[in-house]
Amino acid sequence: MAATTAEKIAFHAANVARTAPRLEALCGRSEDAARRAGALAERIRRADDRRARLAQAIQAATDVLSLRDCAAGVDAAVATDDLETAAAHVAKFRLIEGAARAGGPALEGELEAMRRCTARVEGVVRDRFREACVARDGDAVRRWLPLLKELNLADEAATEAFLDHFREDLRQAVSKVLQDAESPPLVTLRTAINAVAGVVSSTLAQAHGALEAHRGGPRALLLAHDACETASLTCVARFAADSRIASCAAEALRDDRWPTEGPAAMALDALDGLLEDAATALRHLETWRRFAAHQARSVLREDVFGAETRLNAAAAELGEWYAVLECRLCLAALRAAETLDTSADVVASLVRDDVDVFGDAAAAATVAHGSSADDAFWAARRSAARALSSGHAAAADNVVAFVCDRLARETLHGLATRCFDGLAGAGALIKAHEGFGGALAGGTADETLKAVGAGLQQHGEALAAGTAQVLANISEATGLELEEGVVDPGLARRAAAERDRTLRTKLVEAQVALNGLDAACEAHLGRLRLHLEDEVGASYGSDRGDPAVAKLLEAVAALGRRGSAGEAFGDALEKARAALASTALAQPIARSIAGRGDVGARARFALGDTDAVAPHRWACAEALYEALGRVDDFGAAARRAADACAPRATAHLAPRNLVDAARRTAAAAGDALLEELRDRARVKKATPLGALQLDRDVRALRAALAAGLGGGVEVAAAVREGLGLAQHVATLLGLDDRGEASDVVSRYVAPDELPEVLALRRWPGEPEEVAPPPPPPEEDAELALMMP
């Protein structure tokens, strides 16, 4: 039965009554613990107060002892003139002065005694510093400067006293140098700059640290610059007057013939010596400018000089004179290198009547070129390197830019002109050997007239030789003696030998010039640029952020592949290589190996083929393909053409030029082969077996050119690259399906050119083409120069 509310209340009341005594006991114990804790906290506070008072007493005692020790130390240091130790005691006193002052009256006596010692030390240091400045005792001044900073004694009076001393120190250092009137001006200039720099190096940092509040360092450096500027301007004026460099520069600008000709002609060695002296003077001036700038930047942490100073103006004027004369000397050296070129001697030594230079292994093994490239680049390197070593960026930039320009105008022009002149003469002789056939290949009226004249001369010589042979036969048969000179059977032989020797000479001239151009472009130009970059790094490494130095670096870079000079040399070399390959190799070989339709005619004759539309070699069926394998002399004709042309045109080429000539010749021969294929395909398209025949022709042509040109693996690779297009066309035409051929990707045939290539063959499913009978094949005129 549930309990009533009254019963529950009665139950809880009984429980409270039972726990009340226990709760009262607990409250009593808590109050007792609180009383005890309060008493303990009070004792702890009393102990902390006693400890703080004890610490203050100990510190006061320590301060008293320290003050007494500082005072005694100051007295002892002053007595022994050891002011550095006295200053250290003063510094220690100032550290404890604030704490000692808090000690109250007990420490006032000690503080007053130390203040008297401090004033004594400051007065001694101030007096000694002023005495040292008046006595011009640099060692003593440098000794007291740190004490001025440590004791905080630097004021305007101390700064003025130091600057007076510093000015007098500079005056004495410079006057000793300038008093030597017998010394050359450049030696005096160097000595004066070194003397001023020595004074600055020994004193500036200490002066700036001690007198910074009154700008003692910047004011001292400006005084040093004024002293150095005055002495340097005096030396430069003496040098300019003694050397007459200004009048020489004016004469160079006025007279284009100077220095070797004109009223004021000057020997080149004398001019070279003058330029060495001028570059040395610029280097000394630049040395001081950089030294002063370094001191301002590293010690003073500010730029105290402006760009417009008298010394900078004098250096700029001297740099202009120097640049004019250096450019004129470089120009004279480049022209002398062109005039004294040994190419003619090299050609004469290679082309000799009694020696077959094309069969001479020793001669063929050497890369022959003239001396103009070597001499010109040596002169250019000397002038540019000297300008860079002067340290004057503006003058060096003018000289380097001039060197870049004149190398292209003088040296490059001379090398390329000799190369193209030799090739032009060789081309004219090749057309002369073709006789009247060369008139058809003449590109201009002059070429046509020359070819006609050469043909008349050649036929006239042949007619005279034939007449002489007939007369010799009559004389032998009849016993009649003809007059001396009437019978000359060797006339044609001697005329042909003379023409052949002239042709060989022209080709050797072209090769020698091309090798010189190659050496200039591939070797000298790169070495010159690297050398000048090293010079820039050595002379201007710390000033690469300067705009003038950045401009100078651009001028040096112009000598390399990235600049105009390097591109000009590279373009000229490529054009000369292309002209050699085209004139002496590609055109004669291509004309000799093209138009060999008679091979297909002989094969058809052997088979009894009488079709109205006769198949050519690339439109052959199985029987004709087999017959071509028996009678085809395409490879032999190509080998004869290469053997006839290559020795004359490549015997003395540098390896790089030979590889380039091989690639270009192979490309031209392959193009001629494909052109003939296009002409034949207009009549009858190629067949699958014809594609195999084309592949066989390309391989035969590759073997013939690689063997005829020689040169080993690199030349063979170049020939293979040059015939890449012809080989790829043969591969495309040999595929079984036109769609498969359309999917082939090659670097030789662009996608838009592929339909034209595929149209050369009749693919499966295409109708048989019907075409008119082909015209009779034109006889290919054999070049006399190619005959074995």
Distance set, CA 432 to CA 420, 461, 785 (Å):
18, 13, 10
Pick left, alpha or beta for residue 262 (phi over 0 → left; psi -120 to 50 → alpha; otherwise beta). Answer: left
The candidate with the shortest Cα–Cα distance to 359, out of 646, 123, 131, 45, is 646
Rounded to whole angstroms, the Cα distance separating 63 from 425 reads: 108
Residues of the chain with pLDDT under 50: 1, 65, 100-104, 106, 353-365, 435-442, 486-487, 562, 597, 612-613, 770-771, 773-774, 776-788
d(CA 665, CA 53): 109
Provide the residue ranges of all domains of the chain, joining segments of one domain with +: 53-125, 154-324, 340-443+495-570, 594-786
The DSSP H or E segment spanning 119 is: helix 108-134
Phi-psi region at 737: left, alpha or beta (left = phi > 0; alpha = psi -120 to 50): beta
Q: Tell me what pLDDT residue 350 has.
A: 83
Q: What integer pLDDT is reported at residue 36 of this predicted model?
A: 76
Angle between helices 156-178 and 185-210 (to 10 degrees): 170
Predicted pLDDT of residue 596: 54
Tell me, what's the pLDDT at 66? Answer: 55
> Are the CB atoms for 687 and 766 separated by under 8 Å?
no
CATH code reported for the domain at 594-786: 1.20.58.1970
Tokens at residue 69, please? 């020790």
pTM higher than 0.85 for the full model?
no
* DSSP assigned state of 686: B
- Say if CB 386 and CB 403 are below 8 A apart: no
